[in-house]
Amino acid sequence: MALNNLSNREHYGRLKPVERQLMGKVRFSITMSLDGFVAGPDQSKENPLGVGGMALHEWLFELEAWRKSHGERGGVVNPSTPVVEELESGYGAVVMGRNMFGPIRGPWEDESWRGWWGGNPPYHTPVFVLTHHERGAAEMEGETTFHFVTDGIESALARAQRAAGHRDVLIAGGASVTRQFLRAGLIDEFRLSLVPILLGGGERLLDNLRGSTSLEQVEVIEAPGVTHLKYRCNA
Amino acid sequence: MALNNLSNREHYGRLKPVERQLMGKVRFSITMSLDGFVAGPDQSKENPLGVGGMALHEWLFELEAWRKSHGERGGVVNPSTPVVEELESGYGAVVMGRNMFGPIRGPWEDESWRGWWGGNPPYHTPVFVLTHHERGAAEMEGETTFHFVTDGIESALARAQRAAGHRDVLIAGGASVTRQFLRAGLIDEFRLSLVPILLGGGERLLDNLRGSTSLEQVEVIEAPGVTHLKYRCNA
Which residues, given as ranges, of chain B have pLDDT below 70?
A: 1-21, 235
Q: Is the pLDDT of residue A15 over 70?
A: no
Nearest CA in chain B to A231: B196
Whether the complex's predicted ipTM surpasses the cut of 0.85: yes
Mean pLDDT of all residues in A46-52: 85
CA angle A224, A225, A230 (to 5 degrees): 85
C-alpha to C-alpha distance for B33 and B40, rounded to whole angstroms:
9
- Say how far apart CA A94 and CA A26 lie, in whole Å: 10
pLDDT surpassing 60 at residue A225: yes
For B62-97, the pLDDT digits (tens) are 999 999 888 899 999 999 999 999 998 899 999 999
CB contact under 8 A, B212 and A198: yes
A198 with B220: Cβ contact below 8 A = no
Q: Could you tell me which residues of chain B have a Cβ less than 8 Å from any Cβ in chain A?
A: 34-36, 52, 192, 194, 196-201, 204, 206-213, 215-217, 219-220, 222, 225-227, 229, 231
Question: Does residue A159 register a pLDDT over 70?
Answer: yes
Query: Does A217 sit within 8 Å of B198, measured CB to CB?
Result: no
Distance from chain centroid for Cα B214? 20
- Amino acid A99: pLDDT: 87
Please give the DSSP secondary-structure letter assigned to residue A196: S
Note the pLDDT of residue B45.
74
Length of chain B: 235
Whether the pLDDT of residue A157 is over 70: the answer is yes
pLDDT in tens, A85-123: 999 889 999 999 998 998 888 899 888 999 989 999 999
Q: Going by DSSP bridges, is the β-strand pair B145-149/B138-139 parallel, antiparallel, or unpaired?
A: antiparallel
**Chain A interface mutation, best of B38, B195, B217, highest count of A Cβ atoms under 10 Å:** B217
Q: Which is it for strands A26-33 and A168-173: parallel, antiparallel or unpaired?
A: parallel
Amino acid A88: pLDDT: 87
The structure's pTM equals 0.89
Which among A36, A212, A227 has CB closest to B229? Answer: A227
For B173-198, b/e burial (b = at least 16 CB within 10 A) is bbbbbbbbbbbbebbbbbbbbbbbbb
- pLDDT value of position B46: 80
How confident is the model at residue B3, as a pLDDT?
A: 39
pLDDT of residue A5: 43
**Contacts by A152-157 with C-beta closer than 8 Å and gap 24+?**
A153/A95, A153/A177, A153/A180, A153/A181, A153/A184, A153/A186, A154/A7, A154/A8, A154/A9, A154/A184, A154/A186, A155/A7, A155/A8, A156/A95, A156/A128, A156/A130, A157/A8, A157/A26, A157/A95, A157/A181, A157/A186
Per the CB < 8 Å rule, is A34 touching B197?
no
- What integer pLDDT is reported at residue A29 of this predicted model? 96
Q: How confident is the model at residue A3 (pLDDT cuts 50, 70, 90)?
A: very low
Chain B residues within 8 A of A209 when measuring between CB atoms: 35, 198, 200
Residues of B in contact with A226 (CB under 8 A): 217
Question: How many Å lie between the alpha carbon of A201 and the closest alpha carbon of chain B?
Answer: 7
Give the residue with greater pLDDT, B223 vs A234: B223
For A129, the enclosing helix (H) or strand (E) is strand A126-130
